[in-house]
A = this chain, B = another copy of it.
Amino acid sequence: MSDKLKIAVIGAGRIGAVHARTIRDHHSAELVLVADPVGDAAARLGAALGVDSTTDVDAALVSGAVDAVVIASPTPQHVPHALAAVGAGKSVLMEKPVALDLAQVDDCIAALGDDADRVMVGFNRRFDPSVAEVHARVQAGDIGAVEQVLIISRDPAPPPSGYLAVSGGIFKDMTIHDLDMARHLIGEVVSVRATGQHLDPEVDDTYDAATLTLTGAGGAVAVIVNSRHSAAGYDQRIEVFGDQGTLEVTNQRSSSVRMHDATGTERSGLFLPFFLERYQRAYAAELDSFVAAALTGAPQSPSIADGRAALALAEAAAESAATGAVISIGQEAIR
């Protein structure tokens, strides 16, 4: 393996473009190929970044010119693409969710066997500098025992109807990030309660807002509050309450300007608009971690088992919201 990790990006959509640019600017990675089967998407992205492009995704996944692939294709292709690339000896960074169906993830894990270590699932928020700082300080004992976690996550505006139709619903599409964050902060979850809301009549989906309560194996509780809209911008907050103190990730803005006048004081700008802006540094740090593990052969993390666990919680949340029941999570299933 060369001293730079040669990477192909599969999928030239919005998130694929984010990864491609991040790879191009990375000191230990080299973007060698962009692949997308649809129209000229790959060609345009490749031209913009000065790298080769192709519509032949299957060839890209197993190309001898690449060491690793980033899978940013549509969700149903995540598993087949990952299996192909891993089978060809590549390291894989796979976007979330792993799949929309838990059985498919189980089959994937079975097929991967020990090679699962070479797969990272793109729970990028773990790599956000503020989240990583809170996690490290929690692990260091700064706030004592973690007792209650509050995760507020609201998108600025609902996605287009076409996207909603294939998204798998709010729990698998949006909450899944918060479910991973809850596991990251309170450990394994043993039960899930969820309440869905349908607030905006123009959103053609079962729910466009939700509230979840997760109980951890150690007794801590995590509350997640989601909405598909937020007037003041992308609302992304975390509070970890421990018996010795509280650590918070607060919202971020594009400037540090405040205004005071006769209509009010301390008025700041809107929250950062959406995930591309809010998690820009997280994508870079995620790539750092992926490249370092790929180059050294260390196991990737978050793993596909983390991806499965979050998906299992999302399915439990959907069931709880539909039935009103508390859903117990089989611990054997999520290990």
Contact = CB atoms under 8 A, between A and B. Distances in A.
Interface string A103-128: 00000000000000000000000000
Contacts of A165: none
Interface residues of A, number: 71
Nearest to A326: B324
- Residue picked from A227, A244, A254, A326, most chain B C-beta under 10 Å: A326
A304 to B, nearest CB: 29
Nearest to A239: B152
A77 interface: no
Given A193-B193, A256-B250, A324-B325, A265 B269 contact: yes
Interface in A226-277: 227, 229-233, 241-271
Nearest to A208: B147
Contacts of A231: 143-144, 242-246, 260-262
Interface in A185-225: 191, 193, 195, 197-200, 209, 211, 213, 215, 219-221, 223, 225
Contacts of A324: 191, 193, 325-326
A146 to B, nearest CB: 10
Contact of A267 (B191, B198, B267): B267
Contacts of A243: 199-200, 229, 231
Contacts of A225: 148, 150, 223
A130 B195 contact: no
Top-10 shortest CB links A-B:
A245-B261, A232-B260, A324-B326, A130-B255, A264-B267, A267-B267, A246-B260, A250-B256, A248-B258, A266-B268
Interface of A: 25, 129-130, 133-134, 137, 142-145, 147-148, 150, 152, 154, 191, 193, 195, 197-200, 209, 211, 213, 215, 219-221, 223, 225, 227, 229-233, 241-271, 324-326
28 contacts: A130-B257, A133-B257, A133-B269, A137-B259, A143-B231, A143-B261, A148-B197, A154-B241, A191-B324, A197-B220, A197-B221, A209-B221, A229-B243, A232-B246, A232-B260, A232-B261, A232-B265, A245-B260, A246-B260, A247-B257, A247-B258, A249-B256, A250-B256, A251-B256, A258-B266, A264-B270, A265-B269, A265-B270
